[in-house]
Amino acid sequence: MVEYKSGAIGLKKGWKTIVKEGNQFRYVLAPKSDAVKLAEKIASKPPNETCLACHAFSGGGPHFKRSNLSPDLIRNVNEEFDVHMVRGLFCSDCHVFEDHKFGLNSSDTWARDSNKTVSCEDCHEKRHRVPIVGSVLNTFHQKVACQTCHIPIIAREKYPTDVRRDWSHIEFNEKLGRWEPEITLKSNVIPVYLWWNGESREAYVYPERAKVVDGKIILSKPIGSKDDEDSKIYPYKLHTAIVPFDEGRGVPVPIKVGMVFALGDYNKAINADASVSGLKFDGKYVTLVRYMAVTTEFCPRKRL
Ligand code: HEC
Ligand code: HEC
Ligand code: HEC
Ligand code: HEC
């Protein structure tokens, strides 16, 4: 039963009240119920919709940033699309929360907390049991990550993913009624395969001086090799972005994105941010390269 809602509805239902804030001439909405008691009653896991409301749309559109977190996972999920979601798994079954600490361990996510995401082997046997085929598959486990076979294609079905963003070309998006960088969207992409040792990555963190090779900066790339016994082959979405660059300081120049959307005046947007961050833009660009892990939207066995 709902016992609490924020904003005007909460006020109407009598769950909130208006109180004066300190000695100031300011009034705020405050909950009438005991927050701790309410929290204790929330025994259920957060539904997947909660997570996907943000994560399916990050990067400015459906599937844009994370090619395998589609809005379709909210309600339209079927067996063909994601074996886990359709059989009732929650995001939080794998992303385990404890004391608000959040599990995270991939080559392109920066752990803010120490918990680790649950791995396939925590729930599944490492061994395939299917006769004959299974014994052949099992010989790959040392060198090939589970996702590599079980996610053969990324950005499946109706939502394409953003694979390239060119900030040196600003164009008007009629549908959204705003200016945008040139965005290349692709569906049904075969992932890029790289070795990863499960631990480390090559990464660029602003405002370090970047290492530029052939006009490119590696934003994030897994580290591993076939000769290393802990390394396995993993699938990745390759994303590139052409962004302004301050050659003197050796750093990409941040862009006031909101200004680009509203005005389409690219130079103004770059210089606005450059002046705040003390950088200089004189028409040079650099390509940011990012290998993004994929860990959801597992195909059923008959599609492999
Ligand atoms: C209100 C929006 C919102 C909701 C709801 C939300 N997240 Fe997030 N989540 C974020 C943002 C913002 C980040 C940081 C992204 C970044 O730093 O690039 C993030 C980071 C993450 C990351 C690390 C990925 C990364 O790119 O660094 C994971 C995993 C994650 N969230 C899973 C979940 C799960 C599971 C749920 C549901 C229980 C959830 N999130 C609910 C907004 C949200
Ligand atoms: C079967 C287990 C599993 C389920 C279910 C699952 N995830 Fe993940 N997720 C992972 C693993 C493993 C990673 C990669 C390792 C990491 O970042 O900790 C990951 C990574 C992520 C990331 C970081 C980007 C990436 O793809 O590496 C986000 C964001 C995320 N998950 C959100 C979600 C959301 C939202 C849901 C629910 C719709 C969900 N996950 C369901 C296992 C799962
Ligand atoms: C939190 C537990 C959990 C984790 C972690 C998990 N799975 Fe699952 N997985 C399940 C459940 C539950 C099912 C549904 C089993 C069923 O219906 O019999 C399932 C089903 C599957 C299936 C379909 C099996 C079939 O019979 O068709 C595949 C493939 C699969 N998982 C692969 C993976 C891979 C690869 C990973 C690692 C990224 C993973 N799972 C991580 C719980 C998990
Ligand atoms: C070399 C590719 C490959 C790798 C690596 C791989 N799988 Fe599979 N997996 C398959 C194929 C193909 C099938 C379908 C087999 C069949 O039904 O004939 C399958 C079937 C499955 C099934 C359902 C049937 C069964 O045998 O239990 C599960 C669950 C599963 N895999 C989980 C995993 C997990 C967990 C990992 C990582 C430890 C993994 N797989 C690694 C290719 C692979």
The confidence score (pLDDT) of residue 212 equals 96
Of 67, 95, 159, 201, best ligand 2 pocket probe by most atoms within 8 Å of the beta carbon = 95
The confidence score (pLDDT) of residue 74 equals 84
CA of 155 to the centre of ligand 1 (A): 19
Q: 45 or 214: which carries more pLDDT confidence?
A: 214
The set of protein residues with a Cβ atom below 6 angstroms from ligand 1 is 46, 50-51, 53-55, 91-92, 95, 104, 109
Band (pLDDT 50/70/90 cuts) for residue 160 is very high
- Number of residues in the chain: 304
Residue range 196-217, pLDDT digits in tens: 998 889 999 888 999 999 999 9
The number of the ligand nearest the C-alpha atom of 91 reads: 2
User: Would you state the structure tokens that stand for residue 240, as one six-digit string?
Assistant: 């590139």
Whether residue 151 has its Cβ less than 6 Å from ligand 4 = no
Most confident listed range (14-23, 80-89, 158-167):
158-167
Band (pLDDT 50/70/90 cuts) for residue 256 is confident
The confidence score (pLDDT) of residue 82 equals 87
Per the prediction, the chain carries an average pLDDT of 84
Candidates 277, 289, 287, 117; CA nearest to 203 is: 289
The pTM of this model reads 0.87
CA of 257 to the centre of ligand 1 (A): 21
Residue range 50-79, pLDDT digits in tens: 889 999 998 888 899 998 888 888 877 887
Band (pLDDT 50/70/90 cuts) for residue 112 is low
The number of the ligand nearest the C-alpha atom of 69 reads: 2
What is the Cα–Cα distance from 55 to 73, expressed in whole angstroms? 11
The stretch 2-30 carries a mean pLDDT of 69
Evaluate the CA torsion angle 282, 283, 287, 292 in order and state its sign.
Answer: positive
Is the Cβ–Cβ distance between 252 and 210 less than 8 Å? yes
Say how many CA atoms lie within 13 Å of 190 toward its Cβ.
1
The least confident of 32-41, 90-99, 188-197 is 32-41
Residue range 142-151, pLDDT digits in tens: 899 999 999 9
CA of 103 to the centre of ligand 1 (A): 11
Band (pLDDT 50/70/90 cuts) for residue 228 is very high
Alpha carbon nearest to ligand 3 atom 16, residue: 87
Residue range 259-298, pLDDT digits in tens: 888 887 878 888 877 777 888 888 899 999 999 999 888 8
